[in-house]
Chains A and B, each alone.
Chain A
Amino acid sequence: MNFTDLKLSRFIPGPTDEVFDVWFDPESPGGPWHGAKKVLMNLAVDGMFYFGIERAALEKKGIVVHGSGLLGHFGRFTAIERPRAATHTWMSEHTHGIETTVSVTFEARAGGTELTIVHRGVPDDESGRRHEAGWTSLLARVEQHFGGKL
């Protein structure tokens, strides 16, 4: 199996400490954990988290899921440096049960915060890729049609 590292950054128009707190607060509607059917969170080094998202809700967004019920995500916090950074492990069926690592950094910028996620050791195979047949062929066709414009 191949593995890859993902890096995503986004400018968030809010102060760094607030952005950090919202990101790790399951009660906040702006945070990534909000809206999960079941959330357990212990924001401390060696604290564990679990959040279960309803598979039906993910399917509606075009994410491929297997079976029914909750899709569980598990992890352990390995470093917390509020408001600058935190790292935790991450396991779900999308990592094929492999314990991957997520580093989240919050850097102060003029007028807000640069939020960067680095997710290391993500399985990079067909099942983790664009495996929803319906739109893969559509994309191929559209790419072909528009060629250089895409």
Chain B
Amino acid sequence: MQSEAIWTALADPTRRAILERLSRGPTRVTDIAAPFDMSLNAVSKHIKVLEASRLVRRTRQGREHTLELDPKPLREVVQWASDIERFWSGRLDRIEQFFTAKRKRK
């Protein structure tokens, strides 16, 4: 369950700007980074957060890395009505992960 990761990804204005850019179509990493007044390394960290949320997919062709928006995880977000619902959903993520990890340890 990725809801926490999605909210973490959406909470930052730089990451939202990257998603807006990608909503217009797949884009090379270097083109994504160009408009931002920050190092490529800093932009890469934001991109990693977006990849962890599954909102963004990376494809490689030789040395060229291209990013593409995957809208499926946004379905959860679009359906959410309120902060309270997000709160409970995050708590359910937590207890599910707790018992999943516990089972794996056995």
Identify the A interface with B (CB < 8 A): 4, 6, 8, 10-14, 18-19, 22-23, 28-32, 34, 59-64, 94-95, 112, 115, 117, 119, 122, 124, 128-130, 134-135, 138-139, 141-143, 145-146, 149-150
Bound-state Cα–Cα, A95 to B1, Å: 26
Q: Interface of B with A (CB < 8 Å)?
A: 1, 4, 7-8, 10-11, 13, 16, 19-20, 23-24, 69, 71-72, 74-75, 77-78, 80-92, 94-100, 102-103
Nearest opposing residue in chain B for A18, CB measure: B99
Number of cross-chain contacts by CB at 8 Å: 120
Say whether A30 contacts B75, CB under 8 Å.
Answer: no
Complex Cα spacing A136 to B86, Å: 15
* A8/B16 in contact, CB under 8 A: no
Which one of B96, B100, B102 has the highest number of Cβ atoms from chain A below 10 Å of its Cβ? B96
The reply to whether B81 and A6 form a contact with Cβ atoms under 8 Å apart is yes
Closest to A35 in B: B94
8 Å CB contact of A30 from B11, B80, B98: B98
The answer to whether A139 and B78 have CB atoms under 8 Å apart is yes
Separation of A29 and B93 alpha carbons in the complex (Å): 12
Smallest CB separation, A47 vs chain B (Å): 20
Give the residue of A13, A30, A59, A138 whose beta carbon is less than 8 angstroms from that of B23: A138
Given A30-B98, A117-B88; A145-B74 close (CB under 8 Å): no
Question: Contact between B11 and A61 (Cβ–Cβ < 8 Å)?
Answer: yes
When the two chains form their complex, are residues A14 and B103 in contact, meaning their CB atoms are under 8 A apart?
yes
Given A6-B82, A115-B92; 20 other pairs, CB 8 A cutoff:
A6-B81, A6-B85, A10-B1, A14-B102, A31-B94, A32-B95, A61-B4, A62-B11, A115-B95, A119-B85, A119-B88, A124-B81, A124-B82, A129-B82, A138-B20, A138-B23, A139-B74, A139-B77, A142-B71, A142-B74
